[in-house]
Amino acid sequence: MAEMLYREALNRAIDECMAADPNVVMLGEDVGLYGGSYRVSEGLVSKYGEKRLIDTPIAELSIVGNAIGMAIGGLRPIAEIMTANFSLLAFDQIINHMAKYRYMSAGKLTLPMVVRFPQGVSKQLAAQHSESYEQMLSAVPGIRVFAAGDPNYAYHALKKAILMDDPVVFIEHELLYNKKGEVDLDAEVDPFKARIVKEGEDLTIVSYLKMVDDVMAAVPEIEKQTGKSCEVIDLQSLNPFDTGTLKASIEKTGRLVVVEEDHKMGGYGAQVVSWAAESLFYALDAAPLRIAGENVPIPYNRKLELASIPTPDKIAAKIIEWGANNGL
């Protein structure tokens, strides 16, 4: 066990993979000399040199496009996009190229690569720096999508992602980089499995990334007001998602709430709810509840910004109200 920050866990995962395999390279804006905008690659350039920690120009299409070419050429690239919103410039490469080369070539091409980026509402970064794209990326066949909610998963899943022969989009949250947590360095972690953050009997709350913390902050109030116990699940892997863990939990509790930060329309939680409605209809005692961001670009003003996304207070209030109306 080691206590470390989320960004340190990511750094350690990359460091260990680079030490173990000379073909692992990392590219992106300010990842080398600067050490990364969120300090994820801090110190790595002095260990592995500029040949492996590649500072790129501001050219996201090329960052991902070059990573694909590097992977075809036999390297194991980690492409860092500074913020989720800029990944849109690379969506053509991610969706038309990275996700499809293997399938289109009948498995002859293999792309062992990772595209990492932080996303989500941080603090007043406004509409072009605050969005979340897991829903769009999870809709694309051919990509694994991981979302790291704590240092332990960040460390293990990033290592697995780098070692994996399939392309992975690895999503981080801007407000988690300084989150501290225990990392069990020797544990065997399956990156495709969800994590039960807290066990409970009466209600399953599914979330991922920073919303897991917000849910956990809301749980005492929910349990106090309803007298019921919540089971909280961090999905971690978004595509595929761990239906086994979800099924067992929902069959136990009979109730499902999904909490996500992205816009509600077309949001990722819709996928979880639709799956539950299709496959666990008779296990559910009430209609599921989705708590998500509003369908509005993220505004700068702090009050409006917080009004646009779920917060612990709102999560608690919505679940308590829903519970009261649904016989919880």
Ligand X SMILES: Cc1ncc(C[n+]2csc(CCOP(=O)(O)OP(=O)(O)O)c2C)c(N)n1
Q: Which of 8, 29, 80, 129 is flagged as catalytic?
A: 129
Q: Is 172 a residue of the active site?
A: no
Minimum CB–partner distance for residue 28 and ligand X (Å): 10
Could you tell me the two tokens for 219?
């749980």
CB 116 within 8 A of CB 170: yes
Q: With contacts defined by CB under 6 A, name the span among 2-10, 81-89, 162-170, 211-219 that binds ligand X.
A: 81-89
304 binds, among another protein, ligand X, none (CB under 5 to 8 A by kind): another protein
CB 275 within 8 A of CB 147: no
Pattern 12-31, another protein, x by CB under 8 A: -----------------xx-
Quick one: which of 116, 152, 132, 118 has its CA closest to 27?
116
Q: Which of 89, 140, 248, 306 binds ligand X (CB under 6 A)?
A: 89
| Residue 84 near ligand X by CB under 6 A | no
Q: Is 129 a residue of the active site?
A: yes
| Residue 29 near ligand X by CB under 6 A | yes
Minimum CB–partner distance for residue 297 and another protein (Å): 8
Range 180-209, binding another protein (CB under 8 A): none
Distance from C-alpha of 61 to C-alpha of 141, rounded to nearest angstrom: 20
Q: Which of 19, 20, 33, 58 binds ligand X (CB under 6 A)?
A: 58
Q: What is the DSSP letter of 327?
A: T
The count of other CB atoms within 10 Å of the CB of residue 72 is: 13
Residues contacting ligand X: total by CB under 6 A? 6
The torsion of the CA quartet 67, 238, 307, 257, rounded to 10 degrees, works out to 180
Pattern 60-79, ligand X, x by CB under 6 A: x-------------------
Q: What is the DSSP letter of 258?
A: E
Minimum CB–partner distance for residue 36 and another protein (Å): 10
- Measured from the CB atom, is 29 or 213 closer to ligand X? 29
- Measured from the CB atom, is 88 or 185 closer to another protein? 88
Q: What is the DSSP letter of 182?
A: E
Could you tell me the two tokens for 88?
């849109």
Q: Give the sign of the dihedral formed by CA 33, CA 36, CA 38, CA 40.
A: negative
- Measured from the CB atom, is 7 or 129 closer to ligand X? 129
CB 316 within 8 A of CB 222: yes
User: Cis before residue 240, ω within 30 degrees of 0?
Assistant: yes
Minimum CB–partner distance for residue 298 and ligand X (Å): 15
- Alpha carbon 248 to chain centroid distance? 22
Could you tell me the two tokens for 152?
């332990």
Look at residue 88 and give its three-state secondary structure: helix
Minimum CB–partner distance for residue 33 and another protein (Å): 6
| Residue 126 near another protein by CB under 8 A | yes
Kindly list the catalytic residues.
Answer: 60, 129
Binding positions for another protein, rule: CB under 8 A: 29-30, 33-34, 37, 55-62, 85-86, 89, 123-129, 294, 296-297, 299-304, 307-308
